[in-house]
Amino acid sequence: QVQLVESAGGLVQPGGSLRLSCEVSGRASSTLSMGWFRQAPGKEREFVAAIRRSDGHPYYGAAVKGRFTIGKQNERNELFLEMKNLKVDDTGVYYCAATGANYALGYLSQKDGYSYWGQGTQVTVSS
């Protein structure tokens, strides 16, 4: 059984940076396609970024492209999300997700593309 645990989020000022990590247990992260989603109060869970297991190719949601970087540190069995130039609209609960399937990147932007989810971590961007 795959378990995912996100690192603590935090409070960041607009324009600031934050790095999230997701610790994987129960399976090697190199065998998983993984992603990040976020959910703001009163809104649907939104795709942030994904990375496919077969080629490590990243895929980003339009709202974060150019500011966020997703990657895997397979030697540590971890997924990370580097967030820069944070905006108030980036506020929300961030969730790590994983699947053993090697889906197309388009499907990895869908919640249904994932079998495993972390508990979520709060990121607040505010002055």
Res. 57 pLDDT band, cuts 50 70 90? confident
Question: 62, exposed or middle or buried, with CB in 10 Å at 0-12, 13-18, 19+?
Answer: exposed
Question: What pLDDT does 109 receive?
Answer: 93
Residue 4 sits at φ, ψ, to 5 deg, of -125, 130
**pLDDT, tens only, 76-112:** 999 999 999 999 999 999 999 999 988 887 889 999 9
Question: What pLDDT does 104 receive?
Answer: 81
Please state which of the ranges 61-65, 67-71, 91-95, 101-105 shows the lowest mean pLDDT.
101-105
Chain-wide mean pLDDT for the chain? Answer: 95
Helix (H, G, I), strand (E, B) or coil at 111: helix
Over residues 2-14, mean pLDDT: 97
